[in-house]
Amino acid sequence: MASTSTSSIQNNIKCDVFLSFKGQDTPKTFVDNLYHALQQKGITTFKYDERIKKEHVIASDQQTTETRRNIMDYLIRFIEDSKFHIIVLSKNYVSSSWCLDELVKIMECHKTAKHIVYPIFYDVEPTEVRHQYGPVGEALATHVEDEQIKRWKDALNEAANLVGWELNALDSITHRLEMKFIQEIVQDISLKLSLINWKFDEKLVGMDTRTKNVDMYELMV
């Protein structure tokens, strides 16, 4: 999910944040404002939009199934290489198999690689996502024949149990409240990212010190 061209993204695949959302189900301004606020803070964010999806489809001469596989492989690389994931869980998020497949991979990275995941419950209650009832359950029911259903349900349950933010549609109408909400998210990620980078730099300094000690020992010998 990014605003730059596909080729430029592939040349710089490392991102700090991966945004997972259903474009038609959330106000475009909310996702765009969140994306731009992260970018302005120096937090590199991947946002897969419809324009890039069209580029993928146009560039592919293969059948739909293979095109989908290629796009998912493309998305998986960004998910694996991101430190943070923001999941905008909305009423119809689960109606999209694309979103659900992203979610499964994100939660896998959360468990195995300790990636940090932020769920945003957009106009839905965490309990609706956790237990899949109401509009969330109705949307999920459209996939009843899909063999992936159990993995999707497990991923939804895991995501709903994480600490996140709740935002309803009325809040998004009030621009001031929405921007305050976005700033809280950006500040939290910025702080955690600074700590991660600080620890990484500290490790590099330690490695450099050990290297110098070894070099000095070799000179003395």
Q: How many CB atoms lie within 10 A of CB 214?
A: 10
Cβ 56 vs Cβ 70: under 8 Å = yes
The Cα-based distances of 128 to 24, 31, 46, 149, 170 in angstroms read 20, 22, 27, 16, 19
Q: What are phi and psi of 22, to 5 degrees?
A: -105, 110
Q: Which residue has tokens 């490790």?
A: 203
Q: Which residue has tokens 């956790």?
A: 130
State how far the Cα of 31 lies from the Cα of 209, in Å rounded to an integer: 44
Written as six digits, the tokens of 180 are: 């305050």
Q: How many CB atoms lie within 10 A of CB 147?
A: 7
Active site residue 125: no
Sequence length of the chain is 221
Instruction: Select which of 50, 66, 80, 102 is catalytic.
Output: 102
Q: Cite the active site residues.
A: 102
